[in-house]
Amino acid sequence: MTGPLALVGGDEFAPGCDFDAELLAAAGATEVALLATGSAYENPGKVVRAARAWFAELGAELIEVPVYTRPDAMVAEHVDAVAAARMIYLTGTSPMHMRSVLKDTPVFDALCRSWGDGAVLAGSGAGADVLCDPMVDTRGGAFTVGLGVVPRLAVVARSNTWSPDKVRRTVELAPPDVVLVELPERTAVVTEPGGGWRASGVGTPVVHVAGRAATLAELPRPRVAT
């Protein structure tokens, strides 16, 4: 049985992200494995420091898994760290880079196994985007291939920072069988133990299906990517 999955709109590790404490408790985790892969070219050390301070306040130790290039995702030590984790957190600003680094790698395989065995999996910003399939190419708002943890779901991370025209274009471009969720910063959608999703954090997710307004009840279930 997979563990909880949280897709976060960005601005993570900040007041209002109370769902992190709930996720730690759900997994019984005392450590968090962080892959700041999507921030590889934007001072990932700053992200790591913020995450370490945030999770220390929640009583958990941060383990940085330094996967910033594709060769990094082949390193046995990194694979072992992800395989042993009870909570795995992906973050960054470039979903395209995250996909190119993680797709079809031992680290991603270990991530899927850990989550499939009950570990928490959380993705924020690019981390939320890339876990879906399709994922949104943030450069223009169109769609491309993601990692497929949640098929038929796509998210607009940091939707509160997008222009209305860009959001509208993405809604119009969405395939009719894909559920599209606008996720503001410090806002998450989280899977429930019995199935389904709930919203958490400071904002309100906005759901679209085939261009119409929809609800969280219409979000598809995640699955272990193969």
3 state DSSP class of 75:
coil
The answer to whether 65 and 157 have CB atoms below 8 angstroms apart is: no
pLDDT at 27: 87
- How do the domains of the chain map onto residue ranges? 5-218
Q: How far is C-alpha 90 from the chain's CA centre?
A: 6
Which amino acid, residue 51? A
Does the pLDDT of residue 226 top 80, yes or no?
A: no
User: Among 129, 156, 132, which Cα is nearest to 225's?
Assistant: 132
Tokens standing for residue 184: 């503001």
Does the pLDDT of residue 224 top 80, yes or no?
A: no
Q: How confident is the model at residue 225 (pLDDT cuts 50, 70, 90)?
A: low
pLDDT tens-digit readout, 37-78: 999 999 999 999 999 999 999 999 999 999 999 999 999 999
User: Among 34, 158, 39, 10, which Cα is nearest to 98's?
Assistant: 39
pLDDT at 120: 96
Cα separation, 102 vs 125, in Å, equals 16
What crossing angle do the helices spanning 76-84 and 106-116 adopt, rounded to 10°?
Answer: 10
User: 């997994």: which residue's tokens?
Assistant: 27
Whether domain 5-218 has CATH 3.40.50.880: the reply is yes
Q: Which residues pair with 197 in a beta bridge?
A: 191
pLDDT at 174: 95
Q: Over range 152-179, report the average pLDDT.
A: 96
Q: How confident is the model at residue 193 (pLDDT cuts 50, 70, 90)?
A: confident
